[in-house]
Amino acid sequence: MSEHANLLKRHRAVMPAWIPLNYREPIEIVGGKGSRVTDAEGNGYLDFFTGILTNMLGYDVPEVREAVERQLATGIVHTSTSYLLRGQVELAEKIARLSGIPDAKVFFANSGTEANETALLLAAYARRSDQVLAMRQSYHGRSFGATGVTGNRAWTNLSYSPLNVHFLHGADRHLPQFAGMSDEAYIDACVQDLRHVLATATGGDVAALIAEPIQGVGGFTMPPDGLFAAYKTVLDEYGILLISDEVQTGWGRTGQSFWGMGNHGVTPDVMTFAKGLGNGFAVGGVVARGDLMDALPVAGISTFGGNPISMAAANATLDYVLEHDLQANAARQGATLIGGLEAAAGRFPIVRDVRGKGLMFAVELADPRTGEPSPALAAAVMEAARERGLLVGKGGLYGNVIRMAPPMTLTDAEAAEGLGIVIAALEAVNREAA
């Protein structure tokens, strides 16, 4: 048995069966530089999924590595939130300013799940309500609260949430009653749905609406710009808080605005973040109106949240994003990639949709004969891309969406190379399916 096969056997013996190892033959990544990684067998790949959007500057970035090494050299890896930490204050100042939230305060955690759990607690406590609105097809994490507001059947089945959750429409327009609707008409229909839910299912005393501006795990489904502005008008009538889960959409990745909710012209009351901020180091958090943050007595306590190593990595990563204007790069490379995929899609009957903003884009696959979502075709495209040297992600309610989120440092040449591979992979799978 090869070393690789042996590792996989050991993994299966001691790790949960549901951990998805995306590929038919799971990959063991052992090295990375820039936008590329290498596996244990010596194969090199261009990485268009970056560890689920965690390495937003790519791999082995000197500025991040050196910041972490400087912190390590002090002898302090961790001290807990019981102490005053310079890196925390500096990062919180930057995030509070960038958030656009008035009098914002920031709390650091270790993951997106923890950030969302804190945000939900914050909202429930501020509004003295366990009622929450969430979006169908959403994903917010693995805890009791986060699975509770996750509107994806794979997770909702697991949920024993303490929250009283009502799910809204607004992210997926594939249902027949929305066919052919303009954005304006669709937004009107979604607002009516919100008003109906509030009036008939809740009595109005709801703590918050939690939503991803673009749904990540849901398959990069994109509500039309302006939806959340329309929702916010109604929420404000009731005093309901808007929590934007920016775990995938923050830091300029969508190109258009620095935060996903900015694409809707909305400043939420609370935002949660994680994934890319530490460029691979675990950091998550919540930025919220100061009055909300101050009202929650336990908001400032986390043993590992905001530890000095994560703070060093996150400060260096965020500085890099801003100094190199990676939002502009995301917009530019995204336009090339999405435009290129849209132009090619007409040749491939297996492609049902191409969508995205900036460096967060997707190709949705369906059986050309039945029009049904096809996870098998998505798996085949993933394998075909891998064979050609490109890593991508999978997602969507039915597992039929190829998701791509390359590093925000992507170069013109890498964008062209990746685009060529995705098109070649679609071509190969389309030929087989015909």
Residues lying near ligand PLP in the complex (CB under 6 A):
52, 111-113, 116, 139-141, 212, 216-217, 245, 247-248, 274, 284
- CA atoms in the 13 A half-sphere facing the CB of 193: 20
Q: Which is nearer to ligand PLP, 217 or 296 (CB)?
A: 217
Question: What is the nearest approach in angstroms of ligand PLP to the Cβ of residue 318?
Answer: 17
Helices within 198-289 (DSSP H only)? 227-238
Question: What is the nearest approach in angstroms of ligand PLP to the Cβ of residue 264?
Answer: 16
Strand partners, 44: 38
Q: Which is nearer to ligand PLP, 113 or 329 (CB)?
A: 113
* CA 371 – CA 367 distance, rounded (Å): 5
Question: What is the nearest approach in angstroms of ligand PLP to the Cβ of residue 116?
Answer: 6
Q: Which is nearer to ligand PLP, 250 or 373 (CB)?
A: 250
Question: What is the nearest approach in angstroms of ligand PLP to the Cβ of residue 315?
Answer: 19
Strands of the sheet with 390-391, listed across from one edge: 29-33, 36-39, 44-47, 390-391
Is residue 245 within 8 A of residue 204, CB to CB? The reply is no
Question: What is the nearest approach in angstroms of ligand PLP to the Cβ of residue 143?
Answer: 8
Question: What is the nearest approach in angstroms of ligand PLP to the Cβ of residue 346?
Answer: 30
Question: What is the nearest approach in angstroms of ligand PLP to the Cβ of residue 212?
Answer: 5
Of the candidates 193, 177, 253, the one whose C-alpha atom is nearest the C-alpha of residue 227 is 193
Phi, psi at 410, each rounded to 5°: -50, 135
* CA 334 – CA 341 distance, rounded (Å): 10
For 266-291, b/e burial (b = at least 16 CB within 10 A) is: bbbbbbbbbbbbbbbbbbbbbbbbee
Question: What is the nearest approach in angstroms of ligand PLP to the Cβ of residue 310?
Answer: 13
User: 352 CB contacts (<8 Å, ≥6 apart)?
Assistant: 364, 365, 366, 371, 373
Q: Which is nearer to ligand PLP, 217 or 350 (CB)?
A: 217
Q: Which is nearer to ligand PLP, 212 or 414 (CB)?
A: 212
Q: What is the CA radius of gyration of the chain?
A: 21
Q: Which is nearer to ligand PLP, 165 or 350 (CB)?
A: 165
Q: Which is nearer to ligand PLP, 123 or 423 (CB)?
A: 123
The residue number whose beta carbon is nearest to ligand PLP equals 112
Q: Which is nearer to ligand PLP, 131 or 248 (CB)?
A: 248
Residue 11 in tokens: 């993994």
Residue bearing tokens 């258009």:
256
